[in-house]
Structure formats: C-alpha cells, structure tokens
Amino acid sequence: MQKMKPTVLILCTGNSCRSHLAEGILRAASGDTLNVQSAGSMPAGYVHPLAIQVMKEIAVDISTHHSKHMNDFLRQPVETVITVCGNADQVCPVFPGQANRHHWGFCDPAKAEGTDEEKRAVFRKVRDEIKMVFEAYADGRRDQAKAAQSA
C-alpha cells in the first residue's frame, strides 16, 4: 500500500504572492515527497502577475495556480502549516492531523511602489528570500526521511 504524501499548507492573507512563491519553490525543491498547497485567509482571487513573472526567471511555473481559501483545507489532513505573513499567522486555525506549524514572515511584494522594474526587483528579493528558506526546509525534510528509513 502506498503511503499518502504529507500535505504542507502555506498560508498568507491574500494568497496572491508570497504563498504562491513559497508553494512553487517548495514543490520544486521537494520533488515528489510532499503535497504542497497554498491558501489565504482572505484570498485575493488571483495570482499576482509579477509573482508569475519572477518565478519563470528561476524556471518554476506558477501560471496555473489559483487563489484558494484556507477553509477549503479544513476537511483534509494537513501535516504542516507554514504561515508567511503575520495576519495569516494570527487567524490560522488548527487543521485535521496537523503535527507542525511554522511562521516565516516575508515582506509583501504586492505593496511595492515605483516603476515596473523597481516593483519587479522587490518581487525578486522576496522570491530569493523565500527560496533560501524553503529550499533549506525541503533539505531538512529529506534528511529527516533518510534518517527515519535507516533507523
């Protein structure tokens, strides 16, 4: 019998930028070992075009992602919840089967001001910060799985 992949749910308020950047990066970094999802406490209803653009620059396609509400996940087992903004951390419910919860806050690139290039630079900076944290998380999960197999 094949074991279900643990679900990691990444939450933000609007589910339009940071949570999608993190979902795409963690999905790419973890390969086929995790079911990575994202959602928001007040979904914006779209994925920010600059988020899609800066992810393409690192060969991660999030153009098919869509904004979802965190309540959509209340009836399914969620092993780990990761909040990437303070508002989502404050309103986050406990999900069925939840074993872990992390809060790693990042600046909201959607609030960037200036020219298109200046805004894109902010999106790149936040993307790179998220990439560093979530790739390290994926490495840790892989190490944990290897240790469990050899025990």
> Could you say which of 82, 85, 88, 122 is catalytic?
85
Q: From the candidates 51, 92, 122, 130, which is the catalytic residue?
A: 92
5 φ, ψ to 5°? -70, 135
Task: Using alpha carbons, select from 78, 113, 110 the residue that is nearest to residue 92.
Answer: 78
Give CA–CA dist 121/139, Å, rounded.
27
Tokens of 40: 């928001």
> Does residue 17 carry a catalytic annotation?
no
Catalytic residue among 10, 12, 60, 82: 12
Q: Which residues contact 22 (CB under 8 A, 6 or more apart)?
A: 10, 38, 82, 84, 130, 134
Catalytic residue numbers read 12, 85, 92
